[in-house]
Amino acid sequence: MAATPDQLIAAEVRAEMARQRTSQTQLARDVFHTYPMFVHARVTGQVPFTAWQLLQVADYLHVDVCQFLAAAKRPTPDDGAPPPTKFHDEGASYDNPVVDVVFNAPVACLAA
């Protein structure tokens, strides 16, 4: 079964945490001020990251959030079809800045 975009993003967050030798406990304490299970549920893909949480993690790890979002578009070996070309309807209007980050940043990241 193919991984969902949320699971691919979680895998990229885990990979970056491993590259920087950052534990789930550190992330939970320093970023979210909560228990490690909160982070564990997100980095394993059980619970999706919200846009705000993903921005906070990217800031803490000193990486561009586009790195995480681009992971959702990467084809995986078990994918039978090419990834979708768009995340949202081009004609739609989004007035919420968080929605703008979630829907327009991936397109901008991949176009660069």
Query: Where does the pLDDT of residue 3 fall: very low under 50, low under 70, confident under 90, or very high at 90 and above?
Result: confident
Classify residue 68 by burial, with Cβ atoms within 10 Å: 0-12, 13-18, 19+.
buried
The answer to which of 11-15, 51-55, 66-70, 100-104 has the lowest mean pLDDT is 100-104
- For residue 112, the number of C-alpha atoms closer than 13 Å in the C-beta half-sphere is 10
Residue 77 confidence (pLDDT): 57
Residue 81 confidence (pLDDT): 55
User: Does pLDDT of 91 surpass 70?
Assistant: no
Give CA separation, 86 vs 37, 58, 106, in Å.
33, 23, 9
User: Does pLDDT of 99 surpass 80?
Assistant: no
pLDDT digit string, tens, across residues 56-65: 999 999 999 9
- For residue 8, the number of C-alpha atoms closer than 13 Å in the C-beta half-sphere is 20
Domains of the chain are: 5-77+85-111 (1.10.260.40)
